[in-house]
Chains A and B, each alone.
Chain A
Amino acid sequence: MKINDFSFLIGGEAGAGISRSGFLLAKACMRGGLNIFGVNDYQSLIRGGHNFYIVRISDGEIFSQPDQVDLLIALNAETVMRHKNELVSGGGIIYDEDDIAANGETLGRKDLRFYPIPLKRTVIDELKEPHNLIMRNTVALGATIAVTDYDFALLEEILRDTFKPEVADLNIRAARMGYNYVKQNFEGDFGYRLKKTEKAGKERIFLSGNEAVGLGALKAGCKFYSSYPMTPTTGLLHFMTSNERSYNTIAMQPEGEIAAINMIAGAAFAGARAMTATSGGGFCLMSEGLGMTGMTETPVVIMVGQRPGPSTGLPTYSAQGDLKFVVHASQGEFPRMVIAPGDFEECFYETMRAFNWAEKYQLPVILLTDKYVGESEVSAEPFDVNRVKVERGSLIMHDYEGRKEYGRYEITETGVSPRAVPLCKGVIIHANSDEHDEYGVTTEDPGITTAMMDKRMRKLDMIAKEIEERNIEAVKFFGPEEAQATIISWGSTKGPIREAMKLLALEDITTNYLQILYLHPFPKSKVEEVLDRAKKTIVVEHNKTSQLSSLVRDHNLRKVNHKILKYDGRPFNPGDLAERIKEVL
């Protein structure tokens, strides 16, 4: 009997409310004090394809989806056939007996438990809602609570919190029918149980990486948000627009990504903290505008949520193929920052920091995420909203009178010029995408051109200095100092790597792990320190050409020993990753 170490996969047709149902069940588990990690898998279509949502549940720390699932909640026959081999031995299937006659013989899985439940008939005959067949999902949720012997009251609570009273009542009745059906018809023989823990209660939050970025942006004072819908960052657009009125912001959908980047540049010029989000394709369109923000020293934050390319690629899946693209995008050379949050906490705190970096150094900051970190949902302790303070740098909002003539691009030792905003008394501001002199006037003078390039690029040295002096975690290190191998990665591979390390430790294989959070400017010396003492280095990435290895080679003039790469749109499963690490040891 396994208690509080469990995973389920709920699957069905696209448009059948799969992720909603998974979300409700996951949240009911969180309320019971359990930790949750949920991954949504959907296709680029609205109806008729196959969607599924995998949730891992544990009373211990978890960082990723599981390798295999313990319970399949099949809302159609296809789910059974597609996923039957992902079930562990002793796992179970909840399914509608009218959809498919599944048994150990027909599926070739005699090691499974079968829970045939008349999901649709219950909705039609008992609930009397023949036109509301989606309620079968809720019947299945109730059945799941019974199969795992979990507390029905927690599901009830979540349904009440989520729906209007009359809808909640209907859902609770449907769930209760599923619950009772299981209790009456099946013995309590399932090998997995869920139990409330002492952490039960309404303390923790359940959110996606995109929502964590959105919370960070609102808290940081992002007042202008403009983005064009593009998976996997559309969730952030929805978050920002839904909170527009309560937070005195403008959050809008413009005519495209080119408009978006130029609008946020205009907004930042006028003095607001401004942000956009997109994926690789949209970022291609933004590239010229990105360079303009670099040249005009306009502070903006851009979230790039990666998905597999090239071109349209796999629109609703995950990848890390845009690292070198965002580091180099746009013509010419200009300072920028690239930060890659690896989990939901970093999504929140690094978004807050991104606005500070952008304004203090007057440059574009790119938050490089992907579908996996952006759209996965986790349970978490509420954020420490005071950890990162708002720092706006040399911003002159109201009065400059009585000082020397204002030069928007005054050459300074730090490379940072005083940034005034329009309507500031005594100041005329000339921002210019042409090369310009200290006052923003167009120039082609070779001396000024050199001095201006040097001034702008000096800001990168200053950033490196601030990171050093304030001890900001540009990299993070996990595991023992000494280990058989050192894993190096960036972004969302963090979760599966930390899970794989736990699995390897069970086999007495010691690994440690360097996460590179700040990719540009590259934390060369921090990486160097780790490379120096590593016995064997393994880079783990979701791309074909190992772009991180290439950055390490560029900056540290060192080769890594092994590369573990995956580029099929799906995240690493911890067990698979552990096996691949063992192969190269």
Chain B
Amino acid sequence: MRVVDAKDLATSAKNTWCPGCGNFGIVSAFKNAIVELGLEREKVVIVSGIGCHGKIADYVNVNSFHGIHGRVLPLATGMKLVNPNLTVVGFSGDADCYDEGWDHFCHAIRRNMDLTLIVHNNMILGLTTGQTTATSQAGFRTKSTPFGSITPPLNPIAHALVSSGTFVARGFAGDPKHLSGLIVEALKHRGFNYIDVFQPCVTFNYLNTYEWFRQRIYKLEETGHDYTDKQKALQKSFEWGDHIPIGVFYKEERPTYRDNLEHLKGLALTEFSLEDIDIEPIIESMK
């Protein structure tokens, strides 16, 4: 069924996110992107991990696989490699992707898997009631860092760039319209489409609030940023403090992992018959 209205994507599941949670901005931006692109519901698969973000699988009426903590990308990779006709969108959190699942992040990017990854980055573990994550600011006090975090945060945008990312962007849950535009752009791009999303946690993150972000963020596209310039993108990825960029940092075209599996000629693995597979040539070689 082609999606024409956000209502087509509604589910009857009871939403358990906190009122005001940044996740609402992300889910509405995503639904709007699907409506704008008029995608078939049956064609889209959401893969989510564990954390508040993971519940998104219950709230959007497309195919979904709500997996385990940190493993969104390998799950999504398996699906997309089997069937390139699927639109596979991974939703992950900062702890899910940048802590527990960090190894998969770099590898999925360097493979240039044709996937979209949207990371709900609230810089805290929400569902476990407030602990530090890989993107928590140094000095940030949480229940697991009561005297303040003593390590600097990871820079996932820079990592995505040096891992040979082909679509590297950042959005803000407080600006769903802009975010929706980014998601549309990502879904139109072939390759690994990565969007880190600032997603305020209204319950546990006392520091990185909507207000905090609004005071700092600016849009790269409004500054004439050239997203084909990798060095510039890398410079921008290190901008932090009073001015923090959102938008597309970098974009390029590069064959995807599956493009390089030329023997499959773009066909889904499900299209090959399992009947009468001939193993005689191998048996012959063992004689």
Within A251-294, the residues touching B (CB, 8 Å) are 252, 254-256, 258-274, 288-289, 292
| Residue contact A263 to B83, C-beta cutoff 8 Å | no
Nearest-neighbour CB distance to chain A for B159, whole angstroms, equals 15
Segment among A180-188, A363-371, A422-430, A564-572 that sits at the interface with chain B? A422-430
| Residue contact B41 to A270, C-beta cutoff 8 Å | no
Say yes or no for B251: interface residue by CB 8 A criterion: no
Say yes or no for B78: interface residue by CB 8 A criterion: yes
**Cross-interface CB contact of B83 among A245, A260, A422, cutoff 8 Å:** A422
Q: Mark A237-251, 1 if CB is under 8 A from B, else 0.
A: 000000111111110
Docked CA distance A433–B13 (Å): 16
Say yes or no for B67: interface residue by CB 8 A criterion: yes
Total chain A interface residues with beta-carbon distance under 8 A: 71
Segment among B165-173, B178-186, B277-285 that sits at the interface with chain A? B277-285
Q: Which residues of A contact B (CB under 8 A)?
A: 202-207, 211, 215, 218-221, 223-224, 226, 243-250, 252, 254-256, 258-274, 288-289, 292, 296, 382-383, 385, 390, 392, 397, 421-434, 440-442
Docked CA distance A390–B71 (Å): 30
Q: Which residue of A lies closest to B87 (CB)?
A: A422
| Residue contact B42 to A262, C-beta cutoff 8 Å | no
Q: Mark B50-72, 1 if CB is under 8 A from A, else 0.
A: 00000101100111111110110
Q: Which residue of B lies closest to A245 (CB)?
A: B263
CB contact under 8 A between A246 and B47, given known A262-B71, A273-B274: no
Q: Mark B64-108, 1 if CB is under 8 A from A, else 0.
A: 111110110111111111110110000000000000000110010
Docked CA distance A390–B276 (Å): 9
**Cross-interface CB contact of B286 among A206, A219, A273, A392, cutoff 8 Å:** A206
Q: Which residues of B contact A (CB under 8 A)?
A: 11-13, 41-43, 45, 47, 55, 57-58, 61-68, 70-71, 73-83, 85-86, 103-104, 107, 261, 263-264, 267-270, 272, 274-275, 277, 279-283, 286-287
| Chain B hits for A423, CB < 8 A | 42-43, 83, 85-86
| Residue contact B65 to A205, C-beta cutoff 8 Å | no
| Residue contact A272 to B62, C-beta cutoff 8 Å | no
Extra contacts besides A206-B287, A292-B67 (9): CB < 8 Å: A255-B107, A266-B77, A274-B78, A274-B82, A422-B83, A425-B42, A431-B66, A441-B13, A442-B66
Nearest-neighbour CB distance to chain B for A440, whole angstroms, equals 7
| Residue contact B67 to A270, C-beta cutoff 8 Å | no
| Residue contact B68 to A289, C-beta cutoff 8 Å | yes
CB contact under 8 A between A248 and B63, given known A207-B286, A271-B82: no
Docked CA distance A260–B70 (Å): 13
| Residue contact B75 to A265, C-beta cutoff 8 Å | yes
Nearest-neighbour CB distance to chain A for B56, whole angstroms, equals 11
| Chain B hits for A261, CB < 8 A | 74
| Residue contact B67 to A262, C-beta cutoff 8 Å | yes
CB contact under 8 A between A266 and B78, given known A204-B287, A218-B282, A428-B61: yes
**Cross-interface CB contact of B65 among A246, A260, A296, A385, cutoff 8 Å:** A296
CB contact under 8 A between A269 and B65, given known A248-B264, A262-B71: yes
Docked CA distance A385–B280 (Å): 9
**Most chain A beta carbons < 10 A, residue from B57, B74, B80, B277:** B74
**Cross-interface CB contact of A264 among B62, B78, B264, cutoff 8 Å:** B78
Docked CA distance A220–B66 (Å): 28
| Chain B hits for A382, CB < 8 A | 283
CB contact under 8 A between A224 and B78, given known A272-B270, A442-B58: yes
Q: Which residue of B lies closest to A249 (CB)?
A: B269
| Residue contact B75 to A428, C-beta cutoff 8 Å | no
| Chain A hits for B267, CB < 8 A | 248
| Residue contact B57 to A432, C-beta cutoff 8 Å | yes
**Cross-interface CB contact of A270 among B86, B103, B282, B287, cutoff 8 Å:** B86
Docked CA distance A483–B252 (Å): 74
Docked CA distance A512–B68 (Å): 47
Docked CA distance A431–B63 (Å): 8
CB contact under 8 A between A383 and B263, given known A223-B269, A265-B78: no
Nearest-neighbour CB distance to chain B for A243, whole angstroms, equals 7
Nearest-neighbour CB distance to chain A for B116, whole angstroms, equals 15
| Residue contact A272 to B66, C-beta cutoff 8 Å | no
| Residue contact A266 to B65, C-beta cutoff 8 Å | yes
Nearest-neighbour CB distance to chain A for B99, whole angstroms, equals 14
| Chain A hits for B287, CB < 8 A | 202-206
Nearest-neighbour CB distance to chain A for B128, whole angstroms, equals 15
CB contact under 8 A between A219 and B65, given known A266-B76, A441-B58: no
Q: Which residue of B lies closest to A440 (CB)?
A: B64
The 7 A-B residue pairs whose C-beta atoms are closest, nearest first, are A266-B78, A221-B274, A262-B74, A267-B78, A270-B82, A205-B286, A263-B78
Nearest-neighbour CB distance to chain A for B15, whole angstroms, equals 11
Q: Which residue of A lies closest to B263 (CB)?
A: A245
Docked CA distance A304–B58 (Å): 34
| Residue contact A259 to B65, C-beta cutoff 8 Å | no
| Residue contact B286 to A430, C-beta cutoff 8 Å | no
Docked CA distance A321–B287 (Å): 34
Q: Which residue of B lies closest to A239 (CB)?
A: B282
Docked CA distance A223–B41 (Å): 26
| Chain A hits for B55, CB < 8 A | 442
Nearest-neighbour CB distance to chain A for B27, whole angstroms, equals 15
| Chain A hits for B263, CB < 8 A | 244-245, 248
| Residue contact A266 to B264, C-beta cutoff 8 Å | no
Nearest-neighbour CB distance to chain A for B109, whole angstroms, equals 11
Docked CA distance A440–B269 (Å): 25
CB contact under 8 A between A428 and B277, given known A248-B269, A274-B78: no
Docked CA distance A441–B286 (Å): 50
Docked CA distance A58–B76 (Å): 51
Docked CA distance A247–B280 (Å): 12
Docked CA distance A211–B282 (Å): 10
Q: Which residue of A lies closest to B44 (CB)?
A: A422
Nearest-neighbour CB distance to chain A for B9, whole angstroms, equals 10
**Cross-interface CB contact of A259 among B74, B79, B283, cutoff 8 Å:** B74
CB contact under 8 A between A243 and B282, given known A270-B270, A272-B270, A432-B66: yes
**Cross-interface CB contact of B42 among A220, A264, A422, cutoff 8 Å:** A422
**Cross-interface CB contact of B107 among A221, A223, A254, cutoff 8 Å:** A254
